[in-house]
Structure 1
């Protein structure tokens, strides 16, 4: 006869698997967005219009899909505030840095740099009282950070290292961590993840498009078939990625969400080397091992905390 605790445990186990599936899916799609940015740059597409129209297109598509299911965000000042700041810290700011820097530092370095947010997010969550200190989770975050730091130090030691672009790339994880914490802290009451994803993406697109008022800034894109396919691919990627992203944020919290960068690194670096022909960065093997170990420890530590709470 199945006990109540056994049923609860099975449901909790399925819930964790679903959360981890969202984590893996979001991380893989994050790596893909970086790859598409690198390919678009090689075809002469400027980062600003590419990101702006991709974000806006995905936001409109997600809004239409949510509205068709009768899911909408509450239209009030809290939602407007949430849309504005989550757009700046979660999308427009960090992705503009990433999309611009990727052609200068390579996908491998960008992918590994995106693994930095777990430390910043975890420390911020502890300071804000959103997380309780847990040695296993802290150890996992530290391992992931050490793995990313090794690759960054090797990059800085290269001859003729593009220091401004390295700095820009390393600034993006800080903005992503702030975004992770802000979205959890200021999540509009009663709002569903499917309703908030288009708010961030659409808001990001609008913010980036508004930069066109600056003299010399252009948002025009070529109308050739390759450009249209690249934009369409990024719109499709953002649509699925940020559907999973907000579900993961809602279910797993900011620290679990921040691990998408580590997953992205594990996927993006081999792809850049094997498919796009980038040179393997120094320290890659040990970095990958540390990042994978960090993801496992932090995920398992989160499961233990959930079981204790239950």
Structure 2
């Protein structure tokens, strides 16, 4: 092997784990910030549906303009429309509407917590569908992250003032996210880039949320008497744009199981923000749970580097 080929191999091995790690940390941080912005929206009486719809619409516009600038607009055909619709329903509209609606009842910290739950569901599904090769190190990492989340969730459910209905509704969200993680990898349209798929998915999610707005008891109205609701929506739109673009980049380079750790990183960011800036009570077992989650992320990342020793991954799974 020549010196130049050795250097290329070393660079490929580094890229195989470094890029997904960067996408994971950045995307998780935005996810943690997003849950806290939703809490602020609830505090100013901005409905979860209205906040989510206008934020998603703004994010779709941002990514669409970016895609047009790069001459990489979302392709429209039967396969991609199906992909946008299902991805938008599972990973954006459905899950986030449940999360954002639950935050006023269970707190931003708890929602940031339960978004850490998809890894086990995703990992089991990926193994069953032969999308993931079993590796002890990665399995232990997933279990560690899950133990951290369960430790924190158990204390929340044990609280005397626990709102069980909203807790159970919120727990449906991680199931949708796990299904969405697997679906996006399995049905990724051939030859279509992540920065073209992201705006297509968000446009589909906005259409779904718009249709929900016509149902009795729901509204997309936003008060224009104050500037704060508009500012919150604008900030959330930018957060969503970055979050979902990173999601697709991570999906392609890291696969569905690594992608599902976004929630774990989001919890590490979102819970302290909820405590320090929004006055929420620190969940019992926070330190132990965060330690397990951190160990899980580290083990999965090490396992990813060992699983692809020579070349970077080109597509999720």
TM > 0.5:
yes
- 2:246 aligned counterpart, secondary structure: helix
Where 2:309 maps in the other structure, the secondary structure is helix
Q: Deviations over 1:37-62 (max 9, x none)?
A: 00000011000011011111211221
> C-alpha displacement at 1:10, in angstroms?
2.0
Q: How does 1:185-196 map to 2 (within 5 A)?
A: 185-196=186-197
Compute the displacement of 1:5 (Å): 2.8
Q: Which residue is 1:234 aligned to?
A: 236
Q: 1:58 and 2:46 equivalent?
A: no
Measured in 2, the distance between the counterparts of 1:140 and 1:16 equals 15
What is the aligned counterpart of 1:272 among 256, 271, 274? 274
1:309 & 1:28 partners in 2: Cα distance?
27
SS of 2:308's equivalent in the other structure is: helix
Alignment deviations for residues 157-203 of structure 1 (CA, whole Å, 9 cap, x no partner): 11031001111221111110000000000001111000000111111
Q: Specify the alignment match of 1:123 in structure 2.
A: 124
SS at match of 2:278: coil
User: Aligned partners of 2:296 and 2:36: how far apart in 1?
Assistant: 24
The whole-number CA distance in structure 2 between the counterparts of 1:82 and 1:185 is: 10
Quote how far apart the aligned CAs of 1:7 are: 2.2
What's the counterpart of residue 199 of structure 2? 198
What TM-score comes out, normalization by structure 2 length? 0.95
Instruction: List gaps (5 residues or longer) in structure 1.
Output: none
Return the offset for 1:11: 3.1
Aligned length: 310
What is the alpha-carbon distance in structure 2 between the residues aligned to residue 211 and residue 41 of structure 1?
19
Q: Distance in 1 between matches of 2:213 and 2:268?
A: 36
- Whole-Å separation in 1 of the counterparts to 2:217 and 2:102: 20
Residue 259 of structure 1: aligned partner: 261
Distance 1:185 1:278, change over 3 A: same
Q: For 2:300, which of 298, 301, 305 is the aligned residue?
A: 298
Do the aligned residues in 1 keep the contact of 2:12 with 2:311 (CA within 8 Å)?
A: no
CA contact (8 A) 2:12 2:310 kept: no
Kindly report the root-mean-square deviation, in angstroms, between the aligned alpha carbons of the 2 structures. Answer: 1.3
Q: TM-score, normalised by structure 1?
A: 0.97
Identify if the C-alpha distance between structure 1 residues 108 and 250 changes in structure 2 by more than 3 Å, giving closer, same or farther.
Answer: same
8 Å contact from structure 2 (residues 17, 301) kept in 1 = no
Q: Distance in 2 between matches of 1:50 and 1:114?
A: 19
Offset, 1:73? 2.8
SS of equivalent residue, structure 2 residue 161: coil
Give the direction of change, closer, same or farther, for the CA distance of 1:170–1:18 in structure 2 (3 Å limit): same
What residue ranges of structure 2 are gaps of 5+ in the alignment?
313-317
Alignment correspondent of 1:247: 249
Question: Would the aligned equivalents of 2:16 and 2:308 in 1 still touch at CA under 8 Å?
Answer: no
